[in-house]
Amino acid sequence: MIKPYWQDESGNIQIYNADCMDVLTDMPDKSVDLVLTDPPYGINYLSPWTNNHAKIENDEIGDWTDLMEKVLPEFKRIITDSGCCCCCCCGGGKTPVTALFTIEAIKHFNLIQTLVWRKFIGLGWKYRPAYENILILSKSKNDYNFYDTSKTCSNVFEGINQDIPNAEEHPTQKPVKLMQRLLKIHSIENYLVLDPFLGGGSTAEACAIMKRRCIGIEISKEYCDIAIKRVIESQKQYELDGI
């Protein structure tokens, strides 16, 4: 298997600078408890928030379609029988990403829920984007990891605003609090979490905070370095706080 680009002293947080397929195909069967990821959306995204005009890898619709056809069978192979996949999808817009992703995903998984994350009132002159979808998938219709005991777990997430990235940050990074909420629902301490599209490292940072093990894969060295910095800074803060 490819060696990690970086890992923390414990080896619990590992980051790979690689094409995700090069790592996924070497991972053992049923070795991952949760896939938590924000894959490309196939919309040729360009951030309206910053002057960062770098394109996201595999974000053309044809590349995206090919990629999803490859990664979803690997997700199914490597997660445990009760493991889940939490996959962020674009909400609204002219490309029906949620519908396309759902059609492909249910070839391999049971669709447990389509969450709505209300993130903000977006920019625009007509319909302003205010939400994203998050698909929850599992091998089993009923026997899947679910650890929320509040009996009030809604399929609409509110109170977590979208990150507005700086120019040097990943243009579509997800809030750490969003990833923490999903981790709390579908994992417990020491579970192994995989994010094959790590981006700026929100999943890895959330796992470090919540004491989950994490494998993050990111094709861009620049974003790997950003993710590593975020994890290190978070871990230093925990030490200062005595956590």
In terms of residues, how long is the chain? 243
For residues 73 and 95, give the distance between their C-alpha atoms in angstroms, rounded to a whole number.
23
Torsional sign, CA 80, 203, 113, 67: negative
Nearest to 185 by CA among 36, 5, 1: 36
Q: Are 122 and 91 in contact (CB under 8 A)?
A: no
If you search the block for the tokens 């999943």, which residue do you land on?
203
Q: How many CB atoms lie within 10 A of CB 119?
A: 20
Out of 3.60.20.10, 3.40.50.150, 3.30.450.20, 3.40.50.300, the CATH code matching 6-241 is 3.40.50.150
Q: Where are the domains of the chain?
A: 6-241
Token pair 């994203």: residue: 132
Decide if 25 contacts 74 (C-beta within 8 A).
yes
How far apart are alpha carbons 17 and 218 in whole angstroms? 5
- Indicate the DSSP class of residue 140: S
pTM of this prediction? Answer: 0.90
**219/67 Cα distance (integer angstroms):** 13
Query: Tens of pLDDT along the chain (243 residues)?
Result: 799 999 999 999 999 999 999 999 999 999 999 999 999 865 444 454 455 445 455 456 678 889 999 999 999 999 999 999 999 988 777 888 899 999 999 999 999 999 999 998 776 778 888 999 999 999 999 999 999 999 999 999 999 998 777 767 777 889 999 999 999 999 999 999 999 999 999 999 999 999 999 999 999 999 999 999 999 999 888 766 655
Q: What angle do CA 167, 169, 172 make, to 5 degrees?
A: 105
